[in-house]
Structure 1
Amino acid sequence: MPPIHYLTTAAEVQQCAADLRNQPRIAIDLEFDDMRHRYGRNLALIQLFDGRTVYLIDPLPLTNPAHELEPIWELLRDSAIDKVFHSCKSDILLLDELYGVHVRHITDTSVQYTLLGESDNNISLGRLIQSELGIEVDKGEQKSNWLKRPLTDAQKQYAANDVLYLFELADRLQTKLAALGRSQWAEEENVALEDVRYTRDERPYLRIAGKYRILPPEMPLFRDLYLLRDQVARQIDRPPYMVFANDRLAELARDTPRTLAEWQAARGLHPELKRAPYLDQLAGFLPDVFVPVPEPTLPPEQRRFPFRRRLTGEKAARADAREQLLLQLKTFITEDINVYVANLVLSNRLISDIIEEGADHALRPWQRAILRDTAMQHQLPYDTIASPFQ
């Protein structure tokens, strides 16, 4: 077992960065809390491994983490150093959101495994370690509170395991990809991860509303209750579900208390919500008082399948013909390679994108090559789907 260094000071972070500066690659993982124990997304731990030593960097004791972690951010931005992750999107989104860090030169073992075309689903790191290396790692700390201090020895060992095996996994998977002639696929997908950016969802309540099938007349109150809940959660630094649960949010929008006393007696609400100044806001939601502000219309780019809905007549028929050709090609890819690769090249989302934007714009080079070769082999007209719809 390599040594595990637990770092809690700016000087230790600086020394760690210096130790890693000339390494060709670094295995990395993050532990963070995403609205489970505190409000928002909070970085709790950075795990690094250079093949000899595991470094666990604790950002919580640092006075100014954004500044004091800058030596580590410099490593992540350095395109000369390969950063080996497993399923990195949530990590790189967090780094962009909280610190404006854009990671360069990424190898993602989840991407490598997916491109082997052996399964339709993402595989967990624990399962991948077991299937490829024959090692069973303890995942008992997966859902522990990573913001609670001090960290236990079990948490530290769990965190170390998340980076200890990444080099060996990446090398094994790369060998398998090379044997299948798919190394270029992985390279293109990993390069694309460098462009992943965090974007703020201006109307997050719509995702929840869809789950509970909130009707248009109910939406203004549902939205305003959601926003009040978020305001209280931010104030008390607790996840919104601790103010009141999502299913309670839907219930309150549909069966709203009719008096202030009923609001104060309502079940499942955090006590802070029943005190000033929030109680005054609840009073504004009483049915006899509430004035609904209609939900603004979604811009076209955020509507579901806006392109196809705009088409009628001859244009709609041509779009349908493009779709049928793509579905035919997907069937042939399934027969020629397998269903997993067919879904990587022509998922439902990609089919929709190709119909509108064309395959040359919507697909990566490796996907275009498979689609073009399949069309040629089966004497189907690739050129008719290569360009944007007109």
Structure 2
Amino acid sequence: MADIQYLTTPAAIQEAAAWLHTQPRLAVDLEFDDMRHHYGRNLALIQIYDGQTVFLLDPVPLTNPGEELAPLWAVMGDEAVEKVFHSCKSDILLLDELYHVRVRRITDTSVLHTLLAESDNNISLGRLIQSELGIEVDKGEQKSNWLKRPLTEAQKIYAANDVLYLLELADRLTAKLAALGRLHWAAEENRALEDVRYTRDERPYLRMASKYRIMPQEMPLFRDLYLLRDKVAQELDRPPYMVFSNDRLAELVRDTPRTAGDWRAARGLHPELKRSPYADQLAQFSPDNFVPVPEPPLPAEARRFPFRRRLNGEKAAQADAREQFLMNLKTAVSQDMNSYVANLVLSNRLIADIIELGADAALRPWQQQILREVTQNRGLDYGFIAQPFAWATQR
């Protein structure tokens, strides 16, 4: 076990950040609470390993984390310092959302593992450490409350383990990729992670699975109840599910309490909802009181009409021919390389994108190279799939 430094003051964090800025390579991980114990997404701990020392930087005791962690954010944005993560998208989205931090020079060990194309690409850090390094890491604290203080020694050790093996793991996976001639694959995929940015979802209720349990005309009530639940959750600093569950949301829409007394007697609601002012707001959702405001239409760019469903006749036949070409090409990649590589370059999602947008726009250069080589070896015409579908360019 490396030395662990647990830092809780601005001065200590600034001193550590100054040292870390001089290092060429760091292993990085975050612990955060995502609507589990508190409202919203909250940064709970930053773990960084420089090859000798694990720094546990605690934002919770800070008065102004955004400002007091600024020296560390400078390290995150410095292209001269390589940052090694495992499955980093959630981490970099959190930093962008909360602190407008854009992480540069990323190496993601989950990306490296995926590009080896040896097995299922969805692997946890613990399983990857065990399979590559032969070390079993205790994951017992994975679901603990990371915002609760003080942290236990078990939590600190768990947090340290999340970065302690990342540098060695990245070296092992990089060597394997080099032997396969795939380092440029990893470079392109890791560089693309720098462009992953947080965007606010203005209609999060449309992503709820429980919306499929209601009728279309019930969407205004579903939306307004969802928004009230979110408001109450924020004011109470509790996750929305603690106000009432997603399943209960759909049930309240389908079988809405008719009176204030019915709302107070309704099961599964947080006690605060049965007191003023929330009880009065809930009463406005009763059938005799509720005035539905129709859900505004989505802007054109946000409408998700599958490309193929917009086609008919000759155009549909042309799209079918393109799809069949791609399916045959996927079989050829499986035969020439393996099925895992075939899925990396021609997954169902990518095939749909290529049919509409063309391979040159939908794929990264390393993926295009594979398809060019396979089509050339098979006497096929890569140009048939390279450009956007003719209909798509004429809209």
Q: Give the TM-score, by structure 1 length.
A: 0.98
> Are the counterparts in 2 of residues 85 and 108 from structure 1 also a CA contact under 8 Å?
yes
Give how far 1:117 is off: 0.4
AA in 2 matched with 1:248: R
Structure 2 CA distance, aligned partners of 1:351 and 1:242? 41
Provide the rounded CA distance (Å) in 1 between the counterparts of 2:350 and 2:301: 16
**Contact 1:300 1:306 (8 Å CA) reproduced:** no
- Deviation of 1:309 after TM superposition, in Å, equals 2.4
Name the aligned partner's letter for residue 5 of structure 1: Q
Alignment of 1:356-371 (within 5 A): 356-371=356-371
What are the equivalent positions in structure 2 for 1:180-191 lying under 5 Å apart? 180-191=180-191
Counterparts of 1:306 and 1:117, CA distance in 2? 29
What are the residue-to-residue correspondences of 1:36-51 with 2, within 5 Å?
A: 36-51=36-51
Matching of residues 225-264 of structure 1 within 5 Å: 225-264=225-264
1:142 equivalent in structure 2: 142
Distance 1:17 1:188 in 2: 28
Deviation at 1:296, TM superposition (A): 2.2
SS in structure 2 at match of 1:238: coil
Aligned amino acid, residue 190 of structure 1 = N
Tell me the residue number matched to 1:346: 346
Range with bigger deviation, 236-245 or 304-313 = 304-313
Q: Distance in 2 between matches of 1:64 and 1:388?
A: 49
Matched residue of 2:28: which SS? strand
Counterpart of 1:376 in structure 2 is 376
Contact 1:83–1:106 (CA<8 Å) still a contact in 2? yes
Measure the CA separation in 1 of the matches of 2:146 and 2:300.
40
Give deviations 1:7-48, integer Å, cap 9, x for gaps: 000000111011112111010000000000000000000000
In the other structure, the counterpart of 1:389 is 389
Structure 2 distance, partners of 1:347, 1:158, is 35
Q: Is the 8 A contact 2:27 2:85 kept in 1?
A: yes
CA–CA distance in structure 2, aligned partners of residues 298 and 337 of structure 1 = 43
The residue identity in structure 1 corresponding to 2:286 is L
Identify the residue that residue 355 of structure 1 maps to in structure 2: 355
Cα deviation code 1:133-162 (max 9, x no counterpart): 111111000000000000000000000000
- Label 1:168 to 1:107 Cα distance change in 2 as closer, same or farther (>3 A): same
Instruction: Note the 1:275-294 alignment, pairs <5 A.
Output: 275-294=275-294
In structure 1, the partner of 2:328 is: 328
Deviation at 1:124? 0.5
SS of residue matched to 1:198: coil
Aligned to 1:296: 296
Alignment of 1:59-70 (within 5 A): 59-70=59-70
Runs of 4+ in 1 over 4 A off after TM superposition: none
Following superposition of structure 1 onto structure 2, how do residues 260-271 of structure 1 map, counting pairs within 5 Å? 260-271=260-271
Q: Look up the match of 1:129.
A: 129
Q: Could you tell me which amino acid in structure 2 is paired with residue 78 of structure 1? A: D
288-297 vs 327-336, which moves further: 288-297
8 A contact 2:323–2:351 mirrored in 1: yes
Whether 1:115 and 2:115 are equivalent positions in the alignment is: yes
Aligned to 2:217: 217
Could you report, residue by residue, the CA deviation over 1:149-181 in whole angstroms, capped at 9, with x for unpaired residues? 000000000000000000100000000001111
Superposed CA offset, 1:202-225 (max 9, x none): 111112146644320221111111
Which residue in 2 is equivalent to 1:33? 33
What residue is the counterpart of 1:53 in the other structure? 53
User: TM-score normalized by structure 2?
Assistant: 0.96
Q: How far off is 1:303 after superposition? A: 3.2
Asked whether the equivalents of residues 7 and 57 of structure 1 are also in contact (C-alpha less than 8 Å), the reply is yes
The DSSP-based 3-state class of the residue aligned with 1:120 is coil
Deviation at 1:280, TM superposition (A): 1.6
1:311 and 2:311 are equivalent in the alignment: yes
C-alpha deviations, 1:35-82, integer Å up to 9, x for none? 000000000000000000000000011111000000100001000010
Q: Does the 8 Å contact 2:211/2:250 carry over to 1?
A: no
CA-CA distance at 1:274 after TM superposition: 1.4
| CA positional deviation for 1:379 | 2.0
Which position in structure 2 is the counterpart of 1:272? Answer: 272
CA deviations over 1:215-257 (Å, ceiling 9, x no partner) = 2022111111111100100010100000000110111111111
* Secondary structure of the structure 2 residue equivalent to 1:33: strand
Any idea what the Cα deviations from partners look like across 1:352-379, whole Å, max 9, x if unmatched?
1111111001100000011111111222
Equivalent position SS for 1:72: helix
Would you say 1:15 and 2:15 are equivalent positions?
A: yes
Q: Deviations over 1:280-335 (max 9, x none)?
A: 21111111221222222233433334422222222222112111111111111112
- Structure 2, unaligned runs of 5 or more: 391-395
Q: Which moved more, 1:293-302 or 1:150-159?
A: 293-302
CA displacement 1:66-124 (0-9 Å, x = unmatched): 00000100001000010000000000000000000000000000000000001233210
Shift in Å, 1:198: 0.5
